[in-house]
Amino acid sequence: MSIFSSLQIGKLALRAQYKGMEVSGQNVANANTPGYSRQRVNLVAVVPGISPGVNLAPGRGVKVAGVERIHSEFYRTQLMNTASHLSYWIMRQETYRGVEVIFMEPGEYGLNQYLGDFFDAWSELSSSAESTAIRTGLLERAETFTRAVQDTYLRLTELRFDLRDEIESRVQQVNQLAKEIAVINDKILFSHALKQTSNELLDQLDLALEELSGLIDIRVFRKENGAVDVFAGGSLLVQNQNTYAFDVEMALDGTVHIVNHHGTAVEPQSGRLFGLLQGVNETIPEIQAQIDQLVSSLVEEVNRLHRGGYNLYNETGINFFKEIEDNGVPPSLQFALNEELAGDPSRIAAASEGGQPGNGLQALEISRLRSAPVMNEGKVSMIDYYRGLVASIGVKGQESTRMVEAFTKAETQLREEHLAVAGVSLDEEVMNMIQFQHAWHAAARFISYVDYMIGTLIDELGR
Amino acid sequence: MRVTHRMMAESVSQNLRLNLYRLDRLSNQLASGKVFTKPSQNPVGVSRSMLYKTALNRNEQYRLNTNEARGWLSTTHDALMKGLEVLQRLRELSVAAANGTYSDTERSSIASEAVQLKEHLLALANTQHNELYIFGGHRTLEPPYAYNEEGQLEYRGDLGHRVQEVGTFQQVVMNLNGQEAFGGVEVFEAVEQICQALLEDDSETLSGEVLEKIDRGIDLFLQRLADVGARQLRVETMYDTLFEQSIYLKQMLSELEDIDYAETITEFQMQENAYRAALATAARMMQPSLVDYLS
């Protein structure tokens, strides 16, 4: 061990402390970068070689063993799962909010009011069957009611189309993220081949994966070399540098499916896409089917009674509403007044017998339909059926709101836990910088002392 | 636990968001005066609120119906009362004419009064309410009593009953048809007979058969008046009941939907304080770091 090799120790020390400074600088610079995991420089003392006969083997200085990325795989995975669930419930909440806005209950412009008004008008007619004014009023209320039903139905369809459009763009987004992940995979493989690690690439990968997990539930397989394979909704999406893009298919009945490159269905279990698919394929069609059911029963029951009554012209057997045909058009959109009746209120059959203008008994029968159990195989009245529909929308909306709250809390907590591990603490970094600075100073001083000592050797002894 | 600045920033903003959300919810409640405005805020409440509103509207319709029935019944009542007076006067006249000794002039004036009374009774039988003939059963658009070509009075109405819905499964018949009120043309025949007998000075008929008939008419009217009176009473009771029910329903609806202002304002103020506190804490917490204390 010569005095000259001591200079080597000084040099290594300067380099190592400077590296520490650099890493702290990188941390401070990225304190607010999304997805950034703090890094730590790992310093190790250089182990001296074994020299026989030397009792006090001196150290050989310090070296940088690596720059470690500090993060928690556990929290990362948890965060991704939570993000999937959270965005699923947010989507569901949005869907039900949209539906609620359409129904406008409780209020004066909801179907509840119009349905009640419709039956009230029949009750009113039953006591003044001769009155043209009241007959006209009934026709107007019935027409308002049919329009309100159609409007509600069409707005639900519009909402469904909006969701369907979003599915298209979200699937594009999934494909885009898949490409990004594949590109990062490629870079990771390249740097791995050069025996380098890039913490920043890994951060980017995690960020992309987290974004993807908000859209669809994913499973990630990490490999030795750092690259990942990703399954989304049970289908392979990314493998090393390759992506297998998803596509959207629409069935004839208006339902929408996501398919993988083989053409088989991708079945998400959570994520925003799952919420969207549920909205398009289940939630909205089910609500519309219930409205259809209500309309069909109403038309059938009112027509049945109306056909049995007599109008002011002594005619009988006329429908009040247009008959619902089985022609593929939803009943709600066929819901309209019988054209024979529309312009002529005298054609309303209020009487139970012919030639009795003051007879309103048939109208009374129709007004009683309001509390007659004609829905669900004779168990529920029409008004109760509708109330049940609104209540179930409310219950599901409420459920989604609660779930959003719960998962938001869980997500916040997990993010905190993760930041506790991976986040940059400025205080800590400043402390580190001070320490590195001091060590660097001392190393520099060490070099100058050794230099002085060498000077002494050369200048004084050689004289 | 290791605490980082980013973490603090996130939790501060999360807390502020939560506080602001609560403030927003309370201020919405204060502005609308309602505890909930959407089904998802309280599904059961909304369902009940819809139920109450439907019931209220229905009650309102029942009240209108009850009012209509009231009008019909009181018009019927008035007509019958007047009819009763007519019959009683006719009875007096026929009794007087049968027993008394009147001069020809007096007798003819009695006879002409009887004819007037007969016409009056006919007019009563054709009484209208809101331009509808109330004694015609369901045939309400034309006078139920009219003379045919042979000069015979006939009843052209039917036996219809106008049923009025005044409550769920509660109904009132609000009319008397001609058959019920006047026994078809029976009462008029009796009256016609009196007029004839008076004109012909037939005191035997006046004291005998006719008197019996007119008494039967009076009995009929009295009976019908009692009947109509009972129905009127029922309608009045129903009207009051509906009124009370409406008040009760409105109260229930209000308890369900309306906010308690005192409570909500207090809550709002508390929440506002919490928000201010969160802001103040955030401001103090976000500022310092070790850097501030190094030269």
User: In this predicted model, what pLDDT tens digit does every residue of A375-420 receive, in sequence order?
Assistant: 888 889 999 999 999 999 999 999 999 999 999 999 989 988 898 8
Measuring CA to CA, which residue among B209, B167, B169, B170 is closest to residue B192? B209
Q: Is the pLDDT of residue A145 over 80?
A: yes
Tens of pLDDT, residues A309-327: 999 898 999 999 999 998 8
Write out the two tokens for B70.
Answer: 């009231």
B40 touching chain A per CB within 8 A: yes
> By percentage, how much of chain B surpasses pLDDT 90?
41
Tens of pLDDT, residue by residue over B44-61, are 899 899 989 989 998 999
Is B165 within 8 Å of A127 when comparing Cβ atoms?
yes
Nearest to residue A95, comparing CAs of A244, A319, A377, A286? A286
Please tell me which residue of chain B has the smallest CA distance to A427.
B290
Minimal C-alpha gap between B91 and chain A (Å): 35
Strands (DSSP E) along A125-241, which ranges? 218-222, 228-232, 235-239
Domains annotated on chain B, with CATH: 50-252 (1.20.1330.10)
**Best mutation site among A33, A425, A426, A430 for testing chain B: the one with the most B CBs within 10 Å?**
A425
Q: Does the pLDDT of residue A49 top 80, yes or no?
A: no
Strands A235-239 and A228-232: antiparallel
- Which among A367, A398, A421 has CB closest to B165? A367
Nearest to A427 among B162, B165, B289 (CB): B289
Mean pLDDT (whole number) for A98-114: 89
* Adjacent-strand bridge partners of A239: A229, A242
In whole angstroms, what separates CA A358 from the centre of its chain?
61
Of A398, A415, A426, the CB nearest to B290: A426
Judged by a CB distance cut-off of 8 A, whether residue B28 touches chain A is no
For residues B42 and A394, the answer to whether their CB atoms sit within 8 Å is yes
Model confidence over A234-251: pLDDT tens digits? Answer: 999 999 999 999 999 998
Residues 6+ apart with CB under 8 A from B280: none
Distance, CA of A341 to CA of A315 (rounded, Å):
12
Sheet containing strand A235-239, edge to edge, reads A218-222, A228-232, A235-239, A242-243
Q: Under an 8 A CB cutoff, do B14 and A113 touch?
A: no
Q: Are A401 and B43 in contact (CB < 8 Å)?
A: no
State how far the Cα of B257 lies from the Cα of B53, in Å rounded to an integer: 11
Measured between alpha carbons, how far is B209 from B194 in angstroms, rounded to an integer? 10
Q: What single DSSP character describes residue A281? A: I
Using CA of residue A368, residue A369, residue A371, residue A374, what is the dihedral sign?
Answer: positive
The distance of A116 to chain B (nearest Cα, Å) reads 6
Longest dimension (CA), chain B: 141
Compute the distance between CA of residue A421 and CA of residue A75 in angstroms, rounded to an integer. 9
Answer whether A178's CB lies under 8 Å from A237's CB. Answer: yes
Helix axes A284-307, A73-103, angle to 10 degrees: 20
Which residue is associated with the tokens 């209320």? A141
Q: Is the minimum CB–CB distance between B136 and chain A shorter than 8 Å?
A: yes
Residues of B in contact with A124 (CB under 8 A): 61, 64-65
Q: Report the candidate in B283, B113, B122 with the shortest Cα–Cα distance to residue B195.
A: B113
- Total beta-carbon pairs less than 8 A apart between chain A and chain B: 175
Instruction: Confirm or reject contact between B289 and chain A (CB < 8 A).
Output: yes
A254 contact B CB<8A: no
Position with higher pLDDT, B100 vs A57: B100
Contact A105, B39 (CB under 8 A): yes
Among all residues of chain B, which has the CA nearest to that of A351? B138
Nearest-CB residue to B47 (from A353, A387, A420): A387
- pTM for the whole thing? 0.83
**Integer Cα distance of A309 and B138 in angstroms:** 14
Chain A's closest residue to B141, CA to CA, is A357
Bond into A106 cis (ω within 30)? yes
Enumerate the residues of chain A whose CB falls inside 8 A of the CB of residue B37. Answer: 106
Determine the average pLDDT of the residues in A117-136: 90
Residues paired with A151 in a beta bridge: none
Residue in B11, B46, B138 nearest the CB of A416? B11
- Tell me the average pLDDT of chain A: 91
Is pLDDT of A447 > 70? yes
What's the pLDDT score for residue A57? 63
Q: Across the interface, do B139 and A117 touch by the CB < 8 Å criterion?
A: no
Q: In the prediction, which pLDDT does A463 show?
A: 61
Q: What backbone torsions phi and psi does residue B36 show, to the nearest 5 degrees?
A: -140, 150
Q: B16 at the A interface (CB within 8 A)?
A: no
Predicted confidence band at A462 (pLDDT cuts at 50, 70, 90)? low
Checking if the pLDDT of A1 tops 60, the result is no
Q: List B residues 241-260 in contact with A (Cβ-Cβ < 8 A).
A: 257
From B14, B43, B51, residue closest to A394, measured CB to CB:
B43
Q: How far A103 CA sits from the closest chain B CA (Å)? A: 9
CA B55 to each of CA A116, A142, B70, B245, B270: distance values in angstroms, whole numbers, following the listed order = 9, 19, 22, 9, 38
Quick one: A363 exposed, middle or buried, by C-beta within 10 A (0-12, 13-18, 19+)?
buried
Q: A390–B164: do the CB atoms touch at under 8 Å?
A: no
B47–A356 C-beta distance less than 8 A: no
Among A128, A357, A387, beta carbon nearest to B50: A387
Question: In degrees rounded to 5, what are phi and psi of residue B135?
Answer: -100, 10
Please give the residue of chain B at the shortest CA–CA distance from A391: B43
Residues of B (170-209) whose Cβ lies below 8 Å from A: 171, 174
Q: Give ∠ CA A331-A333-A336 in degrees, rounded to 5.
A: 90
Q: What's chain A's length in residues?
A: 463
Indicate yes or no: CB of A356 within 8 angstroms of CB of B137. Answer: yes
Q: How far from each other are the two terminal CA atoms of chain B, in whole angstroms?
A: 29
Interface of A with B in 103-122 (CB under 8 A): 103, 105-106, 110, 112-113, 116-117, 119-120
Structure confidence at residue A54 (pLDDT): 67
Return the structure tokens found at A88: 């699923």
Interface of B with A in 85-114 (CB under 8 A): none
Helices A132-193 + A199-215 axis angle, to 10 = 160
Using DSSP's 3-state secondary structure scheme, residue A222 falls into: strand
Stated length of chain B: 295
**Partners of residue B49 in chain A, C-beta under 8 Å:** 106
Distance from CA of B95 to the nearest CA of A (A): 41
Contact check, Cβ <8 Å, A123/B6:
no
Judge whether residue A349 has pLDDT over 90.
yes
Interface of A with B in 26-45 (CB under 8 A): 31-32
Question: How many separate helices (H) and strands (E) can be counted in chain A?
Answer: 12, 11
Q: Which residue has the higher pLDDT, A404 or A52?
A: A404
Dump pLDDT digits (tens) for B240-282. Answer: 999 999 999 999 999 998 999 999 999 999 999 999 998 998 8
Which residues on A lie below 8 Å from B143 (Cβ)?
none
- Is any Cβ of chain B less than 8 angstroms from the Cβ of A364? yes
Least confident of A151-160, A195-204, B264-273: A195-204
Q: What is the largest CA-CA distance in chain A?
A: 147
A72 touches chain B (CB under 8 A): no
What is the per-residue pLDDT across A256-287, written as a single tens digit (0 to 9) for each? Answer: 999 999 989 999 999 999 999 999 999 999 99
| CB-CB under 8 Å, B53 with A113 | yes
Tell me the average confidence (pLDDT) per consecutive run of 10 residues in chain B, 295 residues long: 80 87 91 89 89 90 91 94 93 82 82 90 92 90 90 88 85 90 87 85 77 89 93 92 92 91 94 92 79 78
Structure-token match 């401001």, residue found: B283
Task: Name the nearest CA neighbour of A180 among A215, A138, A146.
Answer: A215
Asked if B43 and A420 come within 8 Å (Cβ–Cβ), the reply is no
The three-state DSSP-derived secondary structure of chain B is CCCCHHHHHHHHHHHHHHHHHHHHHHHHHHHHCECCCCHHHCHHHHHHHHHHHHHHHHHHHHHHHHHHHHHHHHHHHHHHHHHHHHHHHHHHHHHHHHHCCCCHHHHHHHHHHHHHHHHHHHHHHCCEECCEECCCCCCCCCCCEEECCCCCEEECCCCCCCEEEEECCEEEECCCCHHHHHCCCHHHHHHHHHHHHHHHCCHHHHHCHHHHHHHHHHHHHHHHHHHHHHHHHHHHHHHHHHHHHHHHHHHHHHHHHECCHHHHHHHHHHHHHHHHHHHHHHHHHHCCCHHHHCC
The residue-averaged pLDDT of A112-120 equals 92
